[in-house]
Amino acid sequence: MTARGLSAWFGLGSSLLAILVSVERPHWFGLAASAPARDATTAAAAPDPRTAPWLIKRDVARAR
């Protein structure tokens, strides 16, 4: 590979790395930090453990 080709690959890789880092840590580049991402697991309320459809309700099964 020529020096020109190697330089092009190095520039491309460095640019991609800078973009990925700036998305993850924008304050390193003097950019404003974005709002924290809303996580679906923290936003959803935990269901009552007795309402799970895959659980066998023993009292109902005996009554039949």
Model confidence pLDDT, tens digit, residues 13-29: 999 999 998 888 888 87
Per-residue pLDDT at 9? 96
Owner of token pair 């007795």 = 50
Residue scoring higher pLDDT (25 or 33): 25
Is residue 62 within a helix (H) or strand (E), and if so which, with residue range?
helix 58-63
Is residue 14 within a helix (H) or strand (E), and if so which, with residue range?
helix 3-24
What is the chain's length?
Answer: 64
Is the pTM above the cut of 0.85? no
Per-residue pLDDT at 27? 84
* Pairwise CA distance, residues 8 & 1, whole Å: 11
